[in-house]
Amino acid sequence: MVLAKLGGRITGTIKQMKNATIIDEKTLNDCLDEITRALLQYDVSFHLVKEMQTTIKKIVNLEDLAAGHNKRSIIEQAIFCELCKMLDPGKPAFAPNKANSSIVMFVGLQGAGKTTTCTKYVYYHQKKGYKPALVCANTFKAGAFDQLKQNATKAKIPFYGSYTEFDPVKIAVDGVDRFKKENCDLIIVDTSGRHKQKASLFEEMRQVAEATGYSLILKSSKPDLVIFVMDSTIGQAAFEQAQAFKQSVAVGVVIITKMDGHAKGGGALSAVAATKSPIIFIGTGEHMDEFQVFDAKPFVCRLLG
């Protein structure tokens, strides 16, 4: 599996460094160069990787480290911390506010886990005391309406969708307006995905984003938050995919799905770099409660594990 290789390569490089007889400038440089190569191959931005290298070299000043210091563990710790930092774009994630009704739009490729994740997100917030609702503006995927409706019914969440209306923009506007009238404070709109990053998908998504915000009641021009859902198993395609979404809609946060499988989640580094947005949750199974708040440290441990 391609994705396992990023973490594996970094771990292998750290191991090699730890097994070296002496830790000198050359050992450190070789180690950092190899990690840099691995990250660049995964399309993590050059700027980020360069910054990581410079910071580690600053932290690990071999000349100043007195004998007795465990240089190996200092280097390892510095690499770990910098990888955690790469998962933090330095931008706080939008948090829905119960006092102001928030509209959240989900985007992602078909099969990424968007519909499942919409329900998980809603269920999570329902438990926190929100009054959420789900709108199915995914008119492309056969069965999307039934899938979301079934999930909504199971979690006792109000749902809006249509078997007969095929215009996702109209469904989104009608659904948002209806739930605004019903005083729902968190309205989630699931949008269409496609197998490939097709221009038509992005145009449709952009139109839904515009129309969703331009609800008859709200009269604003954007959803409050666009969540990009990415499958953790996609590997090296992560950067290009995330960037394509970011270029079409204002992605604000990322959710990585299927972290219960074999994938180590290396694509997350690329997704953060491409969208400049934080990861907020990870999906860890098919069920509604298999959803965790994202935490960079255990994530990097797993990546390197």
Among all residues, whose Cβ is closest to ligand GDP?
283
Q: Does 265 bind ligand GDP (CB under 6 A)?
A: no
Distance CA 136, CA 160 (A): 6
**CB of residue 76 vs ligand GDP: minimum separation in angstroms?**
30
* Site pattern 188..217 for ligand GDP (x: CB under 6 A): -----x------------------------
Angle in degrees, CA 162, 147, 242, rounded to 5: 95
Q: Does 71 bind ligand GDP (CB under 6 A)?
A: no
Contact 189, 117 (CB under 8 A): no
Q: Which residue in 8, 12, 111, 158 binds ligand GDP (CB under 6 A)?
A: 111
Q: Which is nearer to ligand GDP, 115 or 270 (CB)?
A: 115
Angle in degrees, CA 129, 132, 138, rounded to 5: 155
Q: Which is nearer to ligand GDP, 49 or 152 (CB)?
A: 152
Report the DSSP beta bridge partners of residue 227.
Answer: 106, 253
CA separation, residue 226 to residues 188, 255, 275, 277 (Å): 10, 11, 11, 10
Choices 19-27, 49-57, 83-91, 109-117 (CB under 6 A): range interacting with ligand GDP: 109-117
Q: Which residue in 13, 102, 115, 270 binds ligand GDP (CB under 6 A)?
A: 115
* Residues 224-263 interacting with ligand GDP (rule: CB under 6 A): 257-258, 260-261
Q: Which is nearer to ligand GDP, 102 or 115 (CB)?
A: 115
Q: Which is nearer to ligand GDP, 9 or 141 (CB)?
A: 141
Q: Identify each DSSP E strand in 121-160 by its residue range.
A: 132-137, 159-160
Contacts 24+ apart (CB under 8 A), 22-28: 23/62, 23/71, 23/72, 23/75, 24/62, 25/62, 28/57, 28/60, 28/62, 28/75
What is the strand order of the sheet 132-137 is part of? Answer: 159-160, 132-137, 186-191, 102-107, 225-231, 251-257, 279-283, 291-293
Contact 299, 266 (CB under 8 A): no
Query: If binding means CB under 6 A, how many residues of this protein chain bind ligand GDP?
Result: 18
Name the residue with tokens 């990322």: 254
* Site pattern 131..150 for ligand GDP (x: CB under 6 A): ----------x---------
Q: Which is nearer to ligand GDP, 17 or 201 (CB)?
A: 201
Q: Does 9 bind ligand GDP (CB under 6 A)?
A: no
Q: Does 286 bind ligand GDP (CB under 6 A)?
A: yes
Distance CA 197, CA 109 (A): 7
Query: Which positions touch ligand GDP (CB under 6 A)?
Result: 108, 110-116, 141, 193, 257-258, 260-261, 283-286
